[in-house]
Amino acid sequence: MTITAQEKAQDKARTLIEALPHMQRYDEETVVIKYGGHAMGDEQAARDFARDVVLLEQTAINPVVVHGGGPQIQAMLSKLGIKSEFAAGLRITDEKTIEIVEMVLAGSINKQIVGYINAAGGKAIGLCGKDGNMVQARKVTRTVVDPDSNIEKVVDLGFVGDPDKVDTTILNQVIGRDMIPVLAPVATSATGGTFNVNADTFAGAIAGALKAKRLLLLTDVPGVLDKSKSLIQDLSVAEARRLIANGTISGGMIPKVETCIYALDQGVEGVVIMDGKVPHAVLLELLTDHGVGTLMHR
């Protein structure tokens, strides 16, 4: 049976009508989107993401994009012959490395995303945590267990920081004025230096300071999985802590979930861990009944 042009148009109209209550729910609300993972490396996926963000802005939702850039940083370090080491899941960032991190994150990646959003009809503004003293960070300390001696030791991660203070003055001037902030997770120190901040952690701090309606963490996995590797679609803070304690949530998912808990404690209504490789994942989560990923709530 052949579908006519009118029937196709009616299907599109039904889709828009179904999205209406979701648009109303997020009307004039702020949504922080952490954009990272392998989807960033694919130009078409990046352009699709940019269009999705512009669509949100056009429906009176206020998107704030925070991006990562680990693979791109690694590629540049390799190109320059700078060896990169990791400890406790974080990049050890010495003086040479922090220069490259800032150049790649606040420079090339940030402006590329800004360009894609602007090409899609938006008005993006590229910023980092140093602009307007937006994010002041403190030096991170981590401990690791020596495999030989089984003794815990403190690791010096160099110029790696955790957000300490967030000043939303600049963001408040931008949000709600047809502009889309695109933030690189580079922060300032109390003395004006530079800190590399994990993008998830940075996004959580921004979302908390803005009291965002939603924080979306776009990753390379479907969300939080149970022990049978099935997606957990709905997760309370208490249940998340229990799953961390019994080992169901482990490895790199632990800091993501801890970021979610922090953001919720700061007043964010809901946080979603979702697969950024799913086409139009952001729109599916915010503007449909089904959503994608794991929704965490208080």
| Full set of structural domains in the chain with CATH | 29-297 (3.40.1160.10)
Q: Please indicate whether residue 203 or residue 16 has the higher confidence score (pLDDT).
A: 203
pLDDT digits (tens, 9 = 90+) for 63-102: 999 999 988 998 999 999 988 787 767 788 889 999 999 9
Supply the pLDDT for residue 242: 95
pLDDT digits (tens, 9 = 90+) for 205-250: 999 999 999 999 999 889 999 999 999 999 999 999 999 999 999 8
Supply the pLDDT for residue 60: 95
For residue 234, give Cα distances in angstroms to 33, 75, 77, 249: 19, 36, 39, 14
19-28, 140-149, 277-286: which range is least confident on average? 140-149
Supply the pLDDT for residue 38: 64
Supply the pLDDT for residue 39: 65
Supply the pLDDT for residue 4: 85
Query: pTM for the whole thing?
Result: 0.92
Question: pLDDT band at residue 1, thresholds of 50, 70 and 90?
Answer: low
CA 28, 33, 39, 42 torsion-angle sign: positive
pLDDT digits (tens, 9 = 90+) for 24-74: 999 999 999 999 866 677 889 999 999 999 999 999 999 999 999 988 998
Supply the pLDDT for residue 186: 97
Task: Summarize the confidence of residues 254-272 as an average pLDDT.
Answer: 95
Give the Cα-Cα-Cα angle 227, 201, 165 (nearest 5 degrees). Answer: 145
Report which of 160, 65, 73 is spatially closest to residue 108, judged by C-alpha positions.
73
pLDDT digits (tens, 9 = 90+) for 119-170: 999 999 999 999 999 999 999 887 777 777 777 878 788 899 999 999 999 9
Compute, in degrees rounded to 10, the torsion defined by CA atoms 69, 56, 182, 49: 30
